[in-house]
């Protein structure tokens, strides 16, 4: 079987780390910066970074509509941190933002994942931390949180895969996986292996 071809959205943020992990696992990576980069992909990763900036760049690059369609049509998608925020149907922008930022921050970007995320949910004081928790179907995973969101509401048909301190931090909804944390910044390759297995399965059964 040929190696999976995985797109990594490379407009801003921590995309290189995903590429290193995925190529280490045998995938072929393409940096996605324009609509033609979406051709022939078996899956796509939306990395962490700054979701407001990434959302603006999605529009500027012309990627917004074609990417949204590919995800809605079933392309396996892994959204981590800001990537999860891009996928969410609804975004809560809490008090950590200034009033001006809150006014201009959008209430949704791609909106393909029926969850509400709370941006910068851990506030200023506990903005970054590392923990370890079980992810359903994968096992124990180290979790690196950096100014992370958590999921406040998930529709019934969204599978909740992990919680930390009672807050949802990992979900799966059909082809979309949304994580509050950064699996690419830990030593563990479990999440990426699991994602690649979904990409292979979808490519094989298509
Ligand atoms: N706080 C960032 C945002 O709202 C996400 C942080 C991250 O991706 N590590 O977009």
pTM reported for the whole predicted model: 0.95
Q: Other CB atoms closer than 10 Å to residue 134's CB: what's the count?
A: 13
Could you tell me if the CB of 50 is within 6 A of ligand 1? yes
Establish whether residue 114 lines the binding site of ligand 1, counting it when its CB lies within 6 angstroms of any ligand atom: no
The DSSP 8-state label assigned to residue 41 in this structure reads -
Cβ(113)–Cβ(83) below 8 Å: no
Is 119's C-beta closer than 6 angstroms to any atom of ligand 1?
yes
Q: What is the mean pLDDT of each run of 10 residues along the chain (206 residues)?
A: 88 97 97 98 97 96 98 98 98 73 80 96 81 96 96 97 97 98 97 96 72
Nearest CA to ligand 1 atom 2: 50
pLDDT at res. 125: 62
The CA distance from 22 to 3, in Å, is 11
CA-CA distances (angstroms) from residue 57 to 23, 67, 102, 118, 201? 25, 12, 19, 21, 31
Q: Which residues are catalytic, by number?
A: 81, 182, 184
Cα end-to-end distance, the chain, whole Å = 14
Quote the CA–CA distance of 131 and 134 in Å, as a whole number: 10
- Looking at the CA of residue 182, tell me the nearest atom of ligand 1: 9
Asked if 115 contacts 108 with a C-beta cutoff of 8 angstroms, the reply is no
Closest residue to atom 1 of ligand 1, CA basis: 147
Which residues on neighbouring strands pair with residue 132, listed in sequence order? 142
Residue 79 is predicted with a pLDDT of: 98
Q: Output the pLDDT for position 107.
A: 82
């Amino acid at each position: 079987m040929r190696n999976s071809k995985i797109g990594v959205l490379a407009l801003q943020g921590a995309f290189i780390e995903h590429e290193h992990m995925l190529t280490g696992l045998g995938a072929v990576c393409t940096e996605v910066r324009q609509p033609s980069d979406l051709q022939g992909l078996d899956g796509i990763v939306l990395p962490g970074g700054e979701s407001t900036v990434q959302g603006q760049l999605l529009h500027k690059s012309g990627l917004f509509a074609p990417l949204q369609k590919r995800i809605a049509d079933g392309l396996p998608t892994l959204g981590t941190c800001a990537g999860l925020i891009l996928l969410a149907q609804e975004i809560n922008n809490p008090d950590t933002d200034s009033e001006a930022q809150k006014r201009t921050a959008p209430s949704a970007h791609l909106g393909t994942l029926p969850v509400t995320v709370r941006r910068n949910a851990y506030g200023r004081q506990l903005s970054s931390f590392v923990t370890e928790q079980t992810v359903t179907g994968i096992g124990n995973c180290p979790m690196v949180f950096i100014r992370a969101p958590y999921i406040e509401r998930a529709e019934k048909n969204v599978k909740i895969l992990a919680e930390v301190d009672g807050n949802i931090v990992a979900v799966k909804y059909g082809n979309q996986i949304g994580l509050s944390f950064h699996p690419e910044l830990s030593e563990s390759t479990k999440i990426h292996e699991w994602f690649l297995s979904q990409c292979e399965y979808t490519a094989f059964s298509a």
